[in-house]
Structure 1
Amino acid sequence: MRPSVKEDTTITVAVEIVDVSKKYGHIFAIKPFSIKLDEGETVAVLGPNGAGKSTLMKILATHVLPSSGIVKIYGRNVFKDGENARKRIGFVTHESFLYDELSVEENLQFYRKFFSVDQEDIREIIEFLNLKSWRKVPAKQLSYGLRKRADIARALIHDPDLILLDELFAGLDEETRNFLVDYFQTLQGKTLLVSSHSVQWAKQLCNRSLFLDKGNLVKDTFSG
């Protein structure tokens, strides 16, 4: 008789936010709220411009310090053990982190130095994101959609468990949007947060939605 496998029923908390807020001067960008996200969830962070979506994503990515509260990524307090927490995070924002003069492949070679990533991992991510034909092209010569894909490759090169995609669909044509939705749907076991003001595109990818308005978490809904 085979032993029962407890891991199958164990729920791992990927993200825990406890009374987190962010103020700029006297203005709240994020008002205090608490929430938990389980491993493997795909979560849309929705709301109009100025709702606090990007601020929340930057806090989770450890790019911005909250004014209050605690953030844990897979049990690690990101502001006490940030180095280890960041190893499990991949962050894509509307700002590119690629070096203009370097090719796609050279950019990935540069970023792999920060992680235990070998050459085969670079080849795989280039292949998966359909960048092989552009791997030798300098980043500054890429179209917006191709550069976005290259930035995603940069963020995922170390196989992170938590993937943060800030305004993933902004400025992309429908073909590129569909490609990225299909790509992220193939990832197994990853926890995704996708911020967007486009409910249509975010809900194609996500099974849970957090709605922000003026820094308030106003709704938390599940689908399918």
Structure 2
Amino acid sequence: MSIAVENITKLYGEQKALNSISFSVKKGEIVGFLGPNGAGKSTLMKILTTYIPATEGIAKVNDFDVITNKTDVQKSVGYLPEHNPLYLDMFVKEYLSFNANVYNIKKQRVSEVIEQTGLTPEAHKKIGQLSKGYRQRVGLANALLHEPDVLILDEPTTGLDPNQLVDIRRLIQSIGKDKTVFLSTHIMQEVEAICDRVIIINKGEIVADKALKDLRDGKEQTVIVEFDYRVEDEFLLKLPNAISVNNTHDFVYEITFGTSQDMRSHVFDFAHDNQLKILQLNQKNESLENLFRALTSE
């Protein structure tokens, strides 16, 4: 396993930031670690990168224990923290070369990560002159310098504009072809765009662990339909595979079906047979946002 977490608990005084959480990440997976602010995401990432110790439990990266094999873990991990620490008065290439010397890495590697992260046009600028999107690229380049097997990224797209978001997403997806990526965020769209799997944490506890494919290919679906006239629920429940009906307002109904088959044609036929006009007809499958709200709302 690239990452293995077993019964990790973290206390700050009497406050419990993490409460006996366990999960594992296979080699080559891109996993989104999703949760509201204060849920414990950054705390776990700091434990996995050896910045802070857990109060209880065991955590391993590439089979190295984060307590007893710190140096091996640090060699295995590329880390981009939430607040990307950069020397703004240094030039991009100068900053990366400085860190390469710390790692005792050949200077050729600096040129490779600059090209890999799309920094070539900005390589001779001072970091303080760069947009936030390019500063994030510098952070990613630095995390990749020592060719780690595992990338741990804490809120890598926070504060970026839409164009920068797309660029960083593509970059992370490209990196994820060769490495395990553990990505923390509170933005559902990031997980849906980048990840193979999502782990949701709330109040220090894991409340969901799902493959994105399973979430998209759910066995239930909800169809939203608006008629031009009120229809009794009992008639709509006679539709094939219908399991519940909710009249949300006026003549708008949410019909839940116990099948992944698209049932909108059946609703259309029902309206035609009963001389009803359809004003809107949409499919509302379970989404990551709906799951997140259901599991993290007060």
Task: Tell whether the structures are fold-level matches, with TM greater than 0.5.
Answer: yes
Counterpart contact for 1:29–1:52, Cα < 8 Å: yes
TM superposition shift of 1:29: 0.7
**For 1:64-79, what aligned pairs fall within 5 Å after superposition?**
64-79=52-67
Q: CA deviation at 1:78?
A: 1.4
The count of corresponding residues between Structure 1 and Structure 2 is: 212
- TM-score relative to the length of structure 1: 0.91
Asked whether the equivalents of residues 44 and 210 of structure 1 are also in contact (C-alpha less than 8 Å), the reply is yes
SS of equivalent residue, structure 1 residue 159: coil
Structure with bigger RCO (C-alpha 8 Å, 6+ apart) = 1
2:139 matched to 1:151? Answer: yes
Worse-matched range after superposition: 127-136 or 45-54: 127-136
> What is the TM-score normalised by the length of structure 2?
0.69
CA distance in 1 between counterparts of 2:124 and 2:92 reads 6
Question: Are residue 215 (structure 1) and residue 204 (structure 2) matched?
Answer: yes
Residues 66-114 of structure 1, C-alpha deviations (whole Å, 9 max, x = no match)? 1111111111111111001110101112212221221111110111123
Structure 2 unaligned segments of length 5 or more: list them.
214-298
Local SS of the residue matching 1:186: helix
In the alignment, which residue of structure 1 is the partner of 2:84? 96
Are residue 40 (structure 1) and residue 28 (structure 2) matched? yes
Q: Which of the pair has more CA radius of gyration?
A: 2
* Residue 20 of structure 2 corresponds to residue 29 of structure 1: no
Mapping of 1:42-57 within 5 angstroms?
Answer: 42-57=30-45
Q: Is 1:169 paired with 2:153?
A: no
Query: Are residues 1:189 and 2:178 paired?
Result: yes
Q: Segments of 4+ in structure 1 off by > 3 A?
A: none
Report the equivalent of 1:114: 102
Q: Shift of residue 218 of structure 1?
A: 0.6
Contact kept? 1:39, 1:189, Cα under 8 Å: no
Gaps of 5+ in 1: 1-12
Alpha-carbon distance in structure 2 between the residues aligned to 1:181 and 1:162: 17
